[in-house]
Structure 1
Amino acid sequence: MLTFLYQIIIMPLIQLTEFFYELFFEITGNQGIAVIGLSFVVTLFTLPLYMVAEKWQETERQIQKKLNPGVERIKKTFRGDGLW
């Protein structure tokens, strides 16, 4: 089962990163620039995930902003009860 998942998920990612590394290395002939190019490609591929996470975080901030007055009122009301 784990071998199957490795073949389906991990192996294509390894092949893709090796492909882009070798591509940049063939173009430039410099390992450092190939690593920088690979980093750029990985950043481009993960950008949509970052955008979704940022949208979720903004939604969470809006919810916290709406709930904050009630939370403050509860904290003010129950301050000094000694239960916490």
Structure 2
Amino acid sequence: MMRGKPGYEHLNEPLHISLKAELQVENIDARLIQARDLLLDLLTPMDESQDFYKKQQLRELVVLNGTLREEGSPMSGSVSPY
């Protein structure tokens, strides 16, 4: 909806990340490489069984929905009592 409107010209460009650094010249390359490596780690998909943050978010969602069943409760598991 915002494409073509002033201030949103970047929406017509391919997805990218722009890094800017105001550091001493001798530190810039090392810090930009460090930032690139961190961003690659964040953008690389991981095995869902190892994704702590996704598990935490899903747990918070079921708490908000009121559908959390604690481990060991009689209603936990995939077997219906009916």
Q: Do both proteins adopt the same fold according to a TM-score greater than 0.5, normalized to the shorter chain?
A: no
Q: Which has the higher helix share?
A: 1
The TM-score, its normalising length taken from structure 2, stands at: 0.29
Q: Which protein, 1 or 2, shows the higher relative CO under an 8 Å CA cutoff with sep ≥ 6?
A: 1
The TM-score, its normalising length taken from structure 1, stands at: 0.29
